Amino acid sequence: IDRHPAGLSLFGWRMDILFILDPFDSLKPKKETSIAMMRAAVARGHRVFGCLQGDISLDQGKVTARVTPLELTGELSPWYKAGEVRIEPLSVFDAVLMRKDPPFDMEYVYSTYMLERAVEQGARVYNNPAAIRDHNEKFSITAYPQLTTDVMVTRDPARLREFVARHGEAVLKLLDGMGGASIFRARQDDPNLSVILETMNRFGTRTVMAQRYLPAIAQGDKRILLIDGEVVPHALARIPQAGEARGNMAAGGKPVAQPLSARDEEIARYLGPRLAAKGLFLVGLDVIGDSLTEINVTSPTGFMEITAQTGFDVPDFFIAQLEKRVAADRSAAGA
C-alpha cells in the first residue's frame, strides 16, 4: 500500500481503511451501515478495503489479513468491484473497523485476541478489541444503575420468578442474544411462566438478565449513537409491530427518527466521554422511555435511516470523527 499521497482528501491525506465484515455479497446496500461508512469515506477521498473475520491470521508473531481493495459502484447490485486480494499486516492501515455482526461467540473472542495483538503492533482498531470483549452489550448497563430500570442477572430460576412477581411482568433476555432474539415478556399470571423460565434458564444452567417491563416500549426502543463520545442529534426509535414487545428492526420494528429527549441527552452526555475513554469509538445506546437498556459496541447500525429521515449525514459525521481520532492517535504515537 502506498502511503498517504498529499492532497487527496478533505482531511489532508488519504486514509486506508480496512473493514472487517460479514461476506460482502450478504450485505444489503439499501440499509447496511458499513456500506454507508465506506461511501462516506470514499467521498472524502479515502480508500476502503474489506476482509472477513476468517481472513485474519497470526503468523511468526505478526497479525495479517487477506484483504480485498473495494471499488464502490454506486449501484445496489453489485455494490462493489473487488480488486486483487493480498496479504497485509493490519498495522499498515490507518484504521481497522471491526464490523462483523454478532453472535459474540468464541470465534469472535478469538478475533479480538488477534486484533488486540495487532494493536500492540501499531494497528489502530476501532472499537478497541479489548473494550469490545469487556463490554457485554446487555450486562454493561449494570455499571450505570442510575440510568437503568430495575435489573437482575442470575442463573437461579427461583430468583427470576421472584423478580417477575416483584414487578408483575418483566423482560427476560440472554446475555449473548442479538437482534431481539430470545427475548421474552413474562407475566406473573402467565400459565406458561414456568416454561419460559425453563426455556431461557435451562433449569439453572444458563445466566439470564431480567429487566422490569417498560410500557414506554410502545413508543419505541430508541437507538442513540455515540461517535468518539459525541452524540448524534437524532435517535432512531424502533416501533414494535402490533402485539409485539420487541422494537428491534430485525424483529420487524418500524424505524422512526426523532429528536433526542432531555433524558436521552442526559444519558448520552454522561456516557459519551466515559465510553470513548475506554476505546469505544462507535456505540449504540438503547433507551426505552427514560431507561438505558443496552450498550451496543459490536456493529451498531441505524446510520442510513437517521440520514434519510432527518438530513443529518451520519456516515459523513462518522468519517469526520474517524479522521480526527486517527490524527490524534497518530500524533500520540509519534507517527
Catalytic sites, residue numbers: 138, 173, 223, 238, 246, 286, 294, 296
Alpha carbon distances (Å) from 265 to 147, 181, 290, 295, 300? 12, 28, 10, 15, 18
Grid cell 486480494 is found at 85
Residue 34: phi and psi, rounded to 5, are: -60, -40
Radius of gyration of the chain (CA): 21
- State whether residue 103 is helix, strand or coil: coil
Distances in Å between the Cα of 48 and the Cα atoms of 36, 37, 203 are: 12, 10, 48
Check residue 179 and give left, alpha or beta (phi > 0: left; psi -120 to 50: alpha).
Answer: left
225, with CB counted inside 10 A (0-12, 13-18, 19+), is buried
Backbone φ and ψ of 54, nearest 5°: -75, -5
User: Are the C-beta atoms of residues 1 and 88 closer than 8 Å to each other?
Assistant: yes
Would you mind telling me the total number of residues written for the chain in this entry? Answer: 335
Residue 37's nearest CA partner among 264, 333, 332, 303 is: 303
Closest CA to 292 of 319, 321, 269, 315: 269
User: Are 116 and 188 in contact, with CB atoms under 8 Å apart?
Assistant: no
